[in-house]
Each structure stands twice: as structure tokens, then as C-alpha cells.
Chains A and B, each alone.
Chain A
Amino acid sequence: MSRWLLRRTGDAVATALVASVVLIILLHLLPGDPLAAVLGDHPVPPAVEAALRRQWGTDRSVVQSIGAVFAGLAHGDLGVSIVEQRPVLAILGERLGPTFLLGALTLLIDFTAGLALGVWSALHPDAIRARLIGAITIVGYALPSFVVGMLLVWMFAVKLRWFPAAGLSNVLLRPDASVMTTLLDHLKHLVLPLAAMVIATLAVPLRQQRAAALVTAAQPWVLAARARGISPALVAWRHCWRPALTPIVTLLGLWLPMLVAGAVFVEVVFQWPGIGLLLARATQDRDIPLVMGAGLLLIVTVQLGSLLADVMYHVVDPAQRQA
């Protein structure tokens, strides 16, 4: 186990490193000069341009860039944002909380409600349930997250006025408001983005778990357990749930990139001040250091997630431990 874990961790680190090198090389190979785009029709003295190029790092060769990024990483320095003129790391730090909150809650709901609904629909394959699951699946696959988000805004923020349409908190809230009021305000702002994320991503774990539970429910030992008079609920809990868990754990690794993409679009819809919104805006501004920093952060997160999924796979499936 420990040797396997070591090798798997090494793999994840290597992938993250190679991925960042690929991104840096890509940036160099592509035409397009962000500085020229920003300067536009306003020519500056050559000395100023040279200074700006040095500051932006556009005067470096590929090798120098790779070296600079890794040296920076070792010092915990990801460069300076062009637009904000502040360290990229500091900006990322401010944005991490909202994204993590939204992502973790989505994950939690998807993998509890999704699993429960999947097992439930597999064990009671009647028409109404099948139709309900079918509806969730179709909505999840056909409606992109930002479309779901816009429709939610229209319904619950514009028409019904139940929840705020955007942001993390009410800017008009007085700073000396009580803790309860502030918390409630944050919760209200969280509802719609969270709903959009869950609706857009729930279908995948649900369908996977349903398929896995259907296979498990058809096993002879499930029938044997039922024949011994064990109640259906207990059979589901004790005998169907755990074996059906392995496919879902591997899914977690595949599912994280989806969460990242969802986060970018949903955060833009709701102006949720997380990494996704930051990445979208930085791309629009062509703020390369910031885009690189946010991109690297998300790549590392995804790698960590798939590593975690593999470790959980080992824990859940004893057969894997011998391998």
C-alpha cells in the first residue's frame, strides 16, 4: 500500500509539473502579444517598452520562462498581475474561499443525494421513478450550467424575488450588522449558485450509481439475503450499497474537471467572487500571469482530487489492495 501510494503520488506530482511546462510552452508558441494589445495605438518610448516587457516577462525565452515559473513556485511567488499590479498569489488567496465553499457543497450534495437517488431508483424500478430520474438526467446533460444559472436568476431573483441574483453578500448591509444577519445574507446569496451547480452536475453520479446498483441488485447473494427474510431496506444498506460504491469513487476523479468547468461558468453568471470568475475576467483582460496562476492552481487541485479518489478506491475495494 505505502509503495503504491508513493508511486501514485509521484505520478500526480509529475503530471502537474509536466502540465505546467506544457502550458508555458504553449504560451510561447502562440502568436499574440498581450503588451501590444494593451498599448494599442499608443506608442511608448523603447526604454519604457523594454521595462514593461521585463516586468511582464514577455522578453524571456521559453527556457527562461519555465525556469522563472519554477523558481517562483519554489519561493511561493507566481508573479504580479498585470491589471491589478498585485502578487498573483495574494489575489488567488482571496478567491480560494468562495470557490472552495461552492465546490465542496456541490460535491457533498451530488455524492449524497446522487448516490441515494441512484440506489433508490435502481431498487424500485417503477415507471414514475424511472421518469423522474430520466428527467433529472436529461436536464443535467442537455442544459449547460450557465443556462441553468440564468433561468434560476430569472425565476427566483427577477420574478419571485426570493434570492439575490449575484454576489457574495449584500453591499448595502451595514458593517455593524449582527453575526446572524450576515450569515443569513451569505446563505441567501449561496442558494442560487449552489442550485445551478448541483442541477448541472447531479446527473453524472446519479446515473453511474443507478447503473452500478442495478448490477449489484441482480447478484445472487442479494436474492439470497432477501430469501433469508432480510428487509429490502437493510439489503440495500448492507449488501447493495458498498459494492456499488467502487465505480462512483473512480468517477470522482473524472468528475472534478467538470466541477472546475462548472465553477467558471456558474461563478460568472452569479458574479461569485471565486477562482472561476477571476479566471474568466483575467482571460478577457489577457492578464497572462494571473491566468497562468489560476490555471496552475486548478490543475493541481484536479490532480489532488484524482489522487484522493484512487486512495479511496483502495480503501473501498479490498481486492485492489492485493494488486
Chain B
Amino acid sequence: MTRLARVGLAILTLLAAFAIVGPWIAGDPNAQPDPVNGSLLLPSPAHWLGTDQLSRDIFARLASGARISLAVAAIAVSVAAVFGSALGLAAGAAPGLAGRLLQRLIDLGLALPRIIVLLVVLAALGRMHYVLLGVVLGATGWPAVARLVRGETLRLRHAQYVAAARALGAPPARVLWYEIFPGTLPAVLVASTLGLADAILLEAGLSFIGVGIRPPEASWGGMLYEARDYIGSAPWLVFIPCLALVAATSAATLLGDALRRSLQPETR
């Protein structure tokens, strides 16, 4: 593992720990102790990162936001990995017309810009729980995984050890599950790590334009959405969630790139 990958992994671990432990020590993210005199305060011992326009503690919102933003991204990546893998395996292994139809389905998923599908779905559903938002993000993230897994499946079908299993008389389903599927896992892992960065960014972007996680719930993108009007008077309201976002996405990208290099040397 390279040094950059270790840094990425360390940052992600820290952020995950922060998401789990943070909300316990930080208190209620929606408490408004003193809206008259206590808003837009600079960092102090009482409020480690200061307060926002409604006198809410920014550290508490950042912690609660970490939990929501990372949970949404983790759910999205898991849904996309499971659904994409199943479809990719099926498309790669199914013979004749079925395989071609599945391939067209994946192509269609890749041709549709993800952001547009997401906006249409969010317009129809309106305000939603963050778990559901994660599922929706995952439901639009599968084509990238499916394409990779299909490619790996097609490649592994002609691998010698798979031919050997077939020659020993293993039925197709067994070959697919025990021989080909494990071989596609490195590709899924790489796609998921890189997909994690995408999911974090998309959730933040959607919340930033006011259609993802909506106020008063805290997410990093949502904090930016609320802080936009205060960029002149209290720029740290903007900087703090930006920093958290950039840390998370660059960590996931570094780790994903490193994993790709070590797991799939042929794609370099």
C-alpha cells in the first residue's frame, strides 16, 4: 500500500469515527441557545467551531452532518455494488439475446446523466428520509459497477481456471458463483471506493441546491446551502463544511486510485 493510500484510509477512518462518536459528545445539532446574542459567534471553548445564524453549534451540526452524509454515501455505494454486480454478472454470463438485452440496459443506464435522473426522482418524491436518499443515490449509481463487472465476467469466462472447473463438470451456476463472482470482487471494490467519493459529492451537491437533505436536518451540503447568504459576514460557516467535504472526497479518491493500481495493474 502506498503512502497516499494510507493517508486516504486514515482520513476515512477518522471521519467514520467522527460520524459515530461525534454526535454523542457534541450535543443537539438543532438547539438554538441564544438566537439574539449568540448567533454567528467565532470559535470559543463553549462552541468549538462557533455558531451559525440561528446560534446553533457548528461542531454539533458538523458531527451530525458527518453521520448523515457518510451514511447516505455508504448506503448508496452498497446498493449500487449489489445491484450493479448482479446485473453485470448476469449480462456477462447470460447467453444470446438475454445477455444482449442486459447489455443494452447497462448502456442505457450509462447514457442517462445521473444528475438528471436524480432530480426527476427527487422532484417526484419531495422531502425524504436520509436512508431513502441513500437508496435513491445507489439506484442511480449501478451502471458504472455493472459495466465493470460485466467486463470482468466476460474476461474471466475464458480464464484457464474457469475452463478447468467446467471441464471437471461443474454446472454453469456453480462456475458463475464460485469461480467467476469472486474474481470480479476486486473490480467492485475499486468501483465502490471511487463511487464513495461520487456519492458524497452528489449528496452534498443535491443538499446544496436545496433538494437533498433539507434544513433543519444537518448535512455538509445542507450546511453550505444555509451558509450561502453569510459568506460575506461569516465565511467560516462556508469553509468548515467545505473542508470536511474535501477531506472525505479526496481520501476516498486517493484510496480508490491506490486500490485500482494494486488490484488491477492492467488498467494502468
Shortest CB-to-CB span from B27 to chain A, Å, is 27
What are the residues of chain A within 8 A of B201 when measuring CB–CB? 144
Shortest CB-to-CB span from B248 to chain A, Å, is 10
Contact present for A298 and B111 (CB under 8 Å): no
What are the residues of chain A within 8 A of B250 when measuring CB–CB? 138, 141-142
CA distance A26 to B242 in the complex (A): 33
Q: In terms of DSSP, what is the predominant structure of the interface of chain B?
A: helix
Contact present for A19 and B108 (CB under 8 Å): yes
In the assembled complex, A32 has its CB within 8 A of some CB on chain B: yes
In the assembled complex, B129 has its CB within 8 A of some CB on chain A: no
Contact present for B123 and A291 (CB under 8 Å): yes
In the assembled complex, B49 has its CB within 8 A of some CB on chain A: no
CA distance A265 to B245 in the complex (A): 15
Contact present for B124 and A288 (CB under 8 Å): yes
In the assembled complex, B224 has its CB within 8 A of some CB on chain A: yes
CA distance A279 to B118 in the complex (A): 11
CB < 8 Å neighbour of A279 from B112, B119, B245, B249: B119
In the assembled complex, B255 has its CB within 8 A of some CB on chain A: no
Contact present for A151 and B242 (CB under 8 Å): yes
Known interface pairs A37-B126, A268-B209; A147-B242 also in contact (CB < 8 Å): yes
| Those of B96-127 within 8 Å (CB) of chain A | 107-108, 111-117, 119-126
Known interface pairs A18-B108, A286-B123, A295-B119; A260-B205 also in contact (CB < 8 Å): no
In the assembled complex, B211 has its CB within 8 A of some CB on chain A: yes
In the assembled complex, A154 has its CB within 8 A of some CB on chain B: yes
Of the stretches B69-77, B87-95, B158-166, B228-236, the one at the interface is B228-236
Of chain B, the residue at the smallest CB distance from A211 is B268
CA distance A286 to B123 in the complex (A): 5
CA distance A260 to B246 in the complex (A): 21
Known interface pairs A150-B224, A150-B228; A257-B113 also in contact (CB < 8 Å): yes
In the assembled complex, B204 has its CB within 8 A of some CB on chain A: yes
Contact present for A158 and B246 (CB under 8 Å): no
What are the residues of chain A within 8 A of B130 when measuring CB–CB? none
CA distance A147 to B228 in the complex (A): 11
Chain A contributes a number of interface residues (CB within 8 A of B) equal to 47
| Those of A266-290 within 8 Å (CB) of chain B | 268-269, 279-280, 282-284, 286-288
CA distance A302 to B113 in the complex (A): 8
What are the residues of chain A within 8 A of B125 when measuring CB–CB? 30-32
In the assembled complex, A23 has its CB within 8 A of some CB on chain B: yes
In the assembled complex, B79 has its CB within 8 A of some CB on chain A: no
What are the residues of chain A within 8 A of B208 when measuring CB–CB? 146, 265, 268
Shortest CB-to-CB span from A160 to chain B, Å, is 12
| Those of A1-55 within 8 Å (CB) of chain B | 15, 18-19, 22-23, 26-27, 30-32, 34, 37
Of chain B, the residue at the smallest CB distance from A150 is B238
Contact present for B249 and A19 (CB under 8 Å): no
CB < 8 Å neighbour of A144 from B111, B119, B245: B245
CA distance A124 to B174 in the complex (A): 52
What are the residues of chain A within 8 A of B232 when measuring CB–CB? 158
Chain B contributes a number of interface residues (CB within 8 A of A) equal to 36
Of chain A, the residue at the smallest CB distance from B202 is A261
Contact present for B123 and A146 (CB under 8 Å): no
In the assembled complex, B151 has its CB within 8 A of some CB on chain A: no
Contact present for B124 and A15 (CB under 8 Å): no
In the assembled complex, B186 has its CB within 8 A of some CB on chain A: no
Contact present for A26 and B115 (CB under 8 Å): no
Contact present for B113 and A288 (CB under 8 Å): no
CA distance A18 to B107 in the complex (A): 11
In the assembled complex, B38 has its CB within 8 A of some CB on chain A: no
What are the residues of chain B within 8 A of A268 when measuring CB–CB? 208-209
CB < 8 Å neighbour of B209 from A30, A260, A280: A280
Given contacts A150-B242, A295-B119, 8 further A-B contacts (CB under 8 A): A141-B250, A144-B249, A150-B224, A269-B228, A280-B119, A284-B210, A287-B123, A288-B124
Chain A residues with a Cβ under 8 A of chain B: 15, 18-19, 22-23, 26-27, 30-32, 34, 37, 138, 141-144, 146-147, 150-151, 153-154, 158, 257, 260-261, 264-265, 268-269, 279-280, 282-284, 286-288, 291-292, 295, 298-299, 302-303, 306
Pairs A–B under 8 Å by Cβ, sample size 18: A19-B108, A22-B108, A26-B121, A32-B124, A32-B126, A144-B245, A150-B242, A151-B242, A154-B231, A257-B114, A260-B116, A268-B209, A280-B119, A283-B122, A284-B209, A288-B123, A291-B123, A295-B120
